[in-house]
Structure 1
Amino acid sequence: MQAQVQTGTPHIPESNRGFRAWWQLTRPHTLTAAFVPVFLGTALALLVGKIHFGLFFAMLLASLLIQAATNMFNEYYDYKRGLDTEHSIGIGGAIVRDGIKPRTVMQLALILYGISLLLGIYICIETSWWLAVIGSASMLCGYLYTGGPYPIAYTPFGELFAGFFMGCLIILISFFIQTGYVSGTSILVSIPVSILVGAILLANNIRDHDGDKDFGRKTLAILLGREHAIHFLAGMFIAAYLLVAVFIAVGLASAWTAIVILSAPKAIKAVKGFRAGGVPIQMMPAMKATAQTNTIFGFLLSIGLLFGYFL
Structure 2
Amino acid sequence: MKYWPNNPGDKLTFFAYAPYVKEAIGSNPSFRPATDKGYPILDYIVSAKDNDQTDLLVSIPPSMNLTYGTNNGKVSLHMSHALTRVSAYVKSGDNVQGKQVTVFSMQATKKATLIFRDPTPSYNKYASWSYINPIETITVSPSATLPFTVPAVKDEKKLLADFFLLPAARINESDHKFSITYTTAGTASSGDAPVQTVTLSNQTLPSMDKWEFGAYVSYTFLIEKQKLTVTATSHPTWGDAGTGTVTGSVVITYAENESTPNWSNGGSGSVDGKPVVTHSTVQNDVQWEDGGTEIVEKS
TM-score (norm 1): 0.20
Greater helix percent: which structure? 1
Greater strand percent: which structure? 2
Question: Which structure has the larger Rg?
Answer: 2
Higher relative contact order (CA 8 A, sep 6+): 1
